[in-house]
Amino acid sequence: MAAHLVKIACERPDAVGRSLSQWDCRELAAELVGQGVVRTISPDSVRRILDGHRLKPWRHHLWIGDKTPRDQAFADAVREVCDLYTRALLPFEMVLCVDEQTNLQPRPRRQPTRAALPGLAARVEHEYGRCGSLNLFAALDTRSGRVYARLSPRKRADDFIAFLEQLDRELPADKTLVHVVLDNLRVHKSKKVKAWLAGHPRFVFHHPPVHCSWMNQVEQWFGILRRKRFGINDFADLTQLSERVLRFVEQWNQKAHAFSWTPQSFQKILAKCESRLAA
């Protein structure tokens, strides 16, 4: 029976005619009974058997297939980003990580959110309305942690260029070489953006490889923003959402700190590249 359970657990449910995305212990127990393997078995017994075989079919993680390049160009792009994050910059250089946090929705509640009281958690009305969304363009200075931000109802090339114009105005004039790390989104490589770059030579774009969003440090900051500002999403409207997000940025910058990145942060992925290139 245990061998049959392991066999089923190592197959996708669709392969045996069950319309499920993943197995869990209750569904596996039902499948064993349905196939006549056992007359009865509890989900707890299924779990104990699977634990003995180090199987957890109810879990999953994302992976990148072998067709995704891990060639010399990939390794060079990783090393380029590693160098930008870890080497000592010249006085006229700075490194920005740029990306967009899309679809920020106000979600106004029908009743005001009530603050926590002794012995009582904060209370958020379950029902909410919809009134549009905003996109946040953000740039993180990798050496200071300072964030530059702009909110826009759309995410087109023109909106991105408007953010670049804002950066050009706000960045120190003595920074004559601004390295910008950003993903391979089509908007970032449009003809309009390339034309803008041609007229603003101090900005130089660097694109990490595809499927490597973790290399963009502003993603770490987006995680902080989502956790600390959008843990309770109850803005009255788009205007209030914009005001509160920009205030969060302002208060972050008052105590901004850089994130710790070292060459060791890239060692694992570079080791995989080197092993493939040597094969």
Averaged pLDDT, groups of 10, the chain, 279 residues long: 93 94 96 94 96 95 69 86 95 98 95 93 92 97 98 96 98 97 94 97 94 91 96 95 98 97 85 69
Separation of alpha carbons 277 and 279, rounded Å: 6
Tokens matching residue 219: 């993603």
Alpha helices in the chain (DSSP H): 2-9, 25-34, 43-52, 72-86, 157-170, 191-199, 218-229, 238-254, 267-278
Residue from 126, 67, 135, 124 nearest 101 by CA: 135
pLDDT of amino acid 21: 96
Helices 238-254 and 218-229: angle between axes, nearest 10 degrees: 120
CATH domain 72-273 topology: Nucleotidyltransferase; domain 5 (3.30.420)
- pLDDT tens digits, 18-58: 999 999 999 999 999 999 999 999 999 999 999 999 999 99
Separation of alpha carbons 32 and 25, rounded Å: 11
- pLDDT tens digits, 135-153: 999 999 999 999 999 999 9
Q: Where are the domains of the chain?
A: 2-52, 72-273
Separation of alpha carbons 44 and 64, rounded Å: 33
The pair phi, psi for residue 139, each rounded to 5°, is -130, 125
Give the H/E segment covering residue 53: none
* Degrees to nearest 5, angle at CA 14 with 13 and 20: 60
Centroid of chain to Cα 210:
13
* Degrees to nearest 5, angle at CA 232 with 230 and 235: 80
Separation of alpha carbons 112 and 73, rounded Å: 53
Separation of alpha carbons 208 and 215, rounded Å: 7
Tokens matching residue 127: 């029902």
pLDDT of amino acid 67: 61
In the numeric block, the tokens 């379950």 are attached to 126
The pair phi, psi for residue 92, each rounded to 5°, is -95, 5
Mind giving me the DSSP string for 60-121?
A: ------TTS--SHHHHHHHHHHHHHHHSPPPTTEEEEEEEEEEEE----BSS--B--BTTB-
pLDDT of amino acid 267: 84
Residue 140, beta-bridge partner list: 97, 147
Separation of alpha carbons 201 and 180, rounded Å: 12
